[in-house]
Amino acid sequence: MKNILTVVCCLCLCSIAALGEKKPAKGPVMSGQNFINFAAQTDMVEANLGQLAQSAAGSQQVKDYAQMLVTDHTSDFNQLSGVARQAGLSVPTAIDAEHDRTMIGPFEKLKGATFDRRYIEEIIAGHKKGIAIYRKEAAEAQNPALKSYADHALPVLEKHLAAAIKLGKARTR
């Protein structure tokens, strides 16, 4: 009986320690510099693809949508630059080789309806990913300036996603 009591007490002590542990959040929080890098690359790629769409897209609706992205992401890049300076972080000033190869390169060979279809698919996927990252940053960032920036950028990204989904549905009819 004494041995059983000892085992039960040990199990209870081990259980109490396990209950006190915090559950890890879903995925690690980006560092401030990593978030700045992600946001800057996103802005530059979106603006670059939007400019490319002006000559490669087959549909005026896609060209108009792409111009909205050029305008909004150029403006966002300027805001991001100010926030980064305020936070003591640096902003990339050019699209990195990886994004150039995987995001820009494939579109340089496309024209017309093929460009339109692929562009809309990539914009939807990219904005879904971006919105998830911005939401996490808005909720969990340690730096108040980055947190505020992410929170204020979210409605624009959500507007882009909604418009891209609508454009995609209109093109498949």
- Which residues make beta-bridge pairs with 112? 57
Residue range 37-49: average pLDDT? 96
**Poorest-confidence range of 23-27, 53-57, 126-130?**
23-27
Residue ranges and CATH numbers for the domains of the chain are 28-171 (1.20.1260.10)
Residue range 160-165: average pLDDT? 98
Res. 140 pLDDT band, cuts 50 70 90: very high
58-83 per-residue burial string, b: 16 or more CB within 10 A, e: under 16 = bbebbbebbeebbebbeebbeebbeb
User: Is the pLDDT score of 20 beyond 50?
Assistant: no
* 57 secondary structure, DSSP code: B
* 1 secondary structure, DSSP code: -
Closest Cα to residue 47, out of 112, 126, 110, 137?
Answer: 126
pLDDT tens by residue, 46-69: 999 999 999 999 999 999 999 999
Mention every residue, 6+ apart, whose C-beta is less than 8 A from residue 7: none
Residue range 91-113: average pLDDT? 94
The confidence score (pLDDT) of residue 54 equals 96
Bigger pLDDT: 123 vs 14: 123
